[in-house]
Structure 1
Amino acid sequence: MNELPQNAFHRRPDLHVETEGEFAGWRTWTRDSFETHNGPFWHRMDETGTVQCAFRVEKKHLNGMRNVHGGCFMAFADYCLFAIASAHLQGPGVTVNFACEFLDAAREGELIECDGEVTRAGGSLIFLRGTLRSGDRKLFTFSGTIKRVKWKQPPPAGTSST
């Protein structure tokens, strides 16, 4: 259960809240063009403060065997790391470690959901783990570490960055 105030979850300026369809009320980030292209991936916080993540499998998520591509599971799990950590992160971060296990396949049309937790949040590192599921079927487990970082300002126009 999340011990931080729920409003910490909603502070990012690049947050889009869906207004219609299956994921009405769910959120996604718009700044990450890779995730935007490969998703859409969604997250929300339930009434207990637990972060939930999900996506509906589309044809673009499939490999040549018509199962969800392993890279799609990995990209979604990385998205989940940041959604789950967002109340602790409260600013930018980067993934510094990611490990996973593929347990089962998923097919077009399935709803993929993630449950996970922060196992430790220190001064600069946040450790997490999670499981991707389709219904009661476990598909993929993962763990990862996020490092908090500070925004770097771009160099002034007309100057060299080296």
Structure 2
Amino acid sequence: MTTNDNALPVPPGFERLKRGGPYMANLGELYCRRNDGAGDDNIVIAMRIDQRHTNMRGIAHGGMLASLSDSALGIGLTLYCEGRHSFVTVNLSTDFVDAARPGDWVEAHVDIQKLGGRMAFANCFLQVGERRILRASGVFAVMNALSPEQLAAGY
């Protein structure tokens, strides 16, 4: 089992993901788990919440959770199409349901709705355990695949 910056364990089945670009890299390490089979909840992107993610109330900042959901949706779409395309956010809708706190393991359970030639649609729930803390819906422009150099740099 690997650990993150907080030295808390990463749950079994998750592997370090070197994607998300410089912005997400500054927020912390991302992890991925791909469940067997097709359908809902096949792709899960996750990270550990720490003190740098909090607002003045000591809970995860809403903008940080929105960033996580946006990145998880885009990464999920890229994994879904096996890297044949990349994606740029056209619209992101978020609803904050509950809070995340330092030490929480937050999982983005991604559900791909449709991948077309020009547009893609996906939803996700951010969860701490079984507790849903955010729901998000995104519309993305379908772009050319990233180059090997971009992928190596973590984009």
Q: Same fold (TM over 0.5)?
A: yes
Q: Smaller-chain TM-score range?
A: 0.7 to 0.9
Q: How does 1:10-159 map to 2 (within 5 A)?
A: 20-21=2-3, 22-23=9-10, 26-30=15-19, 32-48=21-37, 50-86=42-78, 87-88=80-81, 90-150=84-144
The size of the alignment, in residue pairs, is 135
Give the deviation of 1:35 after TM superposition.
0.5
Q: Check the 8 A contact 1:103/1:139 in 2, yes or no.
A: yes
Q: Check the 8 A contact 1:104/1:139 in 2, yes or no.
A: yes
Give the deviation of 1:152 after TM superposition.
9.8
CA RMSD of aligned residues (A): 2.3
SS in 2 for 1:108: coil
* Structure of higher RCO (CA pairs closer than 8 Å, 6+ residues apart): 2
Give the deviation of 1:151 after TM superposition.
6.8
Q: Which amino acid aligns with 1:75?
A: S
Structure possessing the higher radius of gyration over alpha carbons: 1
Stretches of structure 1 that go unaligned for 5 or more consecutive residues are 1-18, 154-162
> Taking every aligned residue pair, what percent have the same amino acid on both sides?
23
Q: How far does the alpha carbon of each residue in 1:107-155 deviate from its partner, in whole angstroms, 9 at most, with x for none?
A: 11111112121111111111001111111211000000111123799xx
Q: Check the 8 A contact 2:77/2:87 in 1, yes or no.
A: no
